[in-house]
Structure 1
Amino acid sequence: MSEIIYTRGDATVPSVKGVKVIAHVCNDLGGWGKGFVLALSRRWPEPEAAYRAWHRDRAANDFGLGAAQFVQVERYVWVANMVGQRGTRTGSKGVPVRYEAIDTALGKLADKALELGASVHMPRIGCGLAGGKWSRVEPLITERLVRRGVRVTVYDHGD
């Protein structure tokens, strides 16, 4: 069985052939403005616009923890907006990350990646501003994606 590939670099510029899905975690408040989303928005306006519209119309759609939205940004590139954090700040209820929601969204991501024949590229999702621990997220990625045959590359930003 293959494993997650770790590399240094920018997850918004995967240098592999074929269809690619760039996955990241969003909050459930409709906020987009810090962390990895800024790198996405510098490259493509569509993921942010789609996320904001999805949140705005949430009464009529599936927006919420565990949901995933797939936005095509180039012929062979998609962005997966995965709702995996409650709010944006660490407070009395702990950190914003919600592992169960990330797990659910990763299952949807696997379905989409398999449907597209795509590889998946991501930063260490849920572990930046969301406050999660990679030791909890990595097994979810292995279980939901790698075990189903999806190639996953995780990017650590090179300084």
Structure 2
Amino acid sequence: MKTVVGDLLQLAIKGEFDVIIHGCNCQCVMGKGIALSIKQSFPEAYAADCSTTKGDDQKLGTFSEAKVVRGPHTFHVLNAYTQFHWRGAGVKADYEAIRKVMKSVKAHFSGKRIAYPKIGAGLAGGDWDIIRGIIDEELAGEDHTYVEFGA
């Protein structure tokens, strides 16, 4: 896993990545954190989320996808369903769902430049050390980058 500091969305717009992944709940909300920024910046991604069934726990471990074109650059935004809901205290990240999503990402986007924030470790309360290990295992051999938000 490579690590860079910056703005994941701006880096994608500038053509740095082919695929960006963010963790989503299964409620079609995208109301906080990076999901809200994605909803505002890439309405195509929110439309893809809304095309799924709200509250369907069968979405866990899958993703919806939006092709985004900004200027000369095209990339895909993946809404990775890594938690069922956002309410209440405690860990909402589902580690098996994260593993399943990453396996699917490798199967569909092998050879692409893949980037993500701390999926499941922010508002979802997951342990980044566990999640980092899952991502490294499932995306082994791929060009994948954790983008730590910062200037």
TM-score, normalised with respect to structure 2? 0.87
1:118 deviates by 1.2
Match of 2:124 among 117, 121, 130: 130
Paired AA for residue 87 in structure 2: R
Match of 1:49 among 42, 47, 50: 47
Alignment partner of 1:142 is 2:140: no
Paired AA for residue 113 in structure 1: F
Paired AA for residue 106 in structure 2: A
Contact 1:24 1:81 (C-alpha < 8 Å) held by counterparts: yes
Equivalent residue for 1:118? 112
SS in 1 for 2:9: coil
Alignment partner of 1:108 is 2:100: no
1:30 deviates by 2.1
Structure 2: runs of 5+ lacking an equivalent: none
Distance (Å, rounded) in 2 between the aligned partners of 1:55 and 1:144: 27
Cα displacement string for residues 66-92 of structure 1 (whole angstroms, at most 9, x for unaligned residues): 11122111253000111001210234x
TM-score, normalised with respect to structure 1? 0.83
1:18 deviates by 7.1
Contact 1:19 1:76 (C-alpha < 8 Å) held by counterparts: no
Q: Return closer, same or farther for 1:7/1:29 CA change in 2, 3 Å cut-off.
A: same
The alignment of Structure 1 onto Structure 2 pairs a total of residues equal to: 147
Equivalent residue for 1:154? 146
Distance (Å, rounded) in 2 between the aligned partners of 1:129 and 1:72: 25
Q: Return closer, same or farther for 1:110/1:20 CA change in 2, 3 Å cut-off.
A: same
Match of 2:11 among 14, 26, 30: 14
Contact 2:83 2:93 (C-alpha < 8 Å) held by counterparts: yes
Contact 1:18 1:76 (C-alpha < 8 Å) held by counterparts: no
User: Structure 2 matches for 1:67-82, cutoff 5 A?
Assistant: 67-74=62-69, 76-82=74-80
Give the superposed CA RMSD. Answer: 2.2
Distance (Å, rounded) in 1 between the aligned partners of 2:16 and 2:85: 35
> Which of structure 1's runs of 4+ aligned residues deviate more than 3 A?
15-19
Cα displacement string for residues 11-44 of structure 1 (whole angstroms, at most 9, x for unaligned residues): 1123686761000110022221101012212321
Structure 1: runs of 5+ lacking an equivalent: none
